[in-house]
């Protein structure tokens, strides 16, 4: 199985901050990396697919980059609605695997 490791596990930030979350795969996954946002009691929501493509309807302050084994999710200017947990997920090979999540909290 491909292991996905996110860092940090939690992060405190303020509205307006620029935030970066990192995801590392245990082997190369090309660009088969997706990012999701999950709020308490809700289903995950797809933000970024194929490492850097913005899902329709997602604000452009979200961006993704990377290929191979190292990826980042960046939020350029945090908004109040962005405080949530973020997960990376690889779709290069089965079984599909997720990072452990990054909890983004208000400072």
Across 65-92, b (16+ Cβ under 10 Å) vs e yields ebeebebbbebeebeeebbbbbbbbbbe
Position among 16, 60, 95, 107 found at the interface with other proteins (CB under 8 A):
95
| Candidate ranges 19-27, 41-49, 64-72, 73-81; the one touching other proteins (CB under 8 A) | 41-49
* Residue 96 touching other proteins (CB under 8 A): yes
Cβ-based neighbours of 76, under 8 Å, separated by 6 or more:
18, 61, 62, 63
Report, in Å, the least distance between residue 41 CB and other proteins.
9
| Range in contact with other proteins (rule: CB under 8 A) among 16-24, 64-72, 73-81, 96-104 | 96-104
């Amino acid at each position: 199985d491909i292991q996905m490791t996110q860092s940090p596990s939690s992060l405190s930030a303020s509205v307006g901050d620029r935030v970066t979350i990192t995801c590392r795969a245990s082997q190369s996954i090309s660009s088969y990396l997706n990012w999701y946002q999950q709020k308490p009691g809700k289903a995950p929501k797809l933000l970024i697919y194929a490492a850097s493509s913005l899902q329709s309807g997602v604000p452009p302050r979200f961006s993704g980059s990377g290929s191979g084994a190292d990826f980042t999710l960046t939020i350029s200017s945090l908004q109040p609605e962005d405080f949530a947990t973020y997960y990376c997920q690889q779709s290069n090979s089965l079984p599909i695997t997720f990072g452990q999540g990054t909890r983004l909290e208000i400072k």
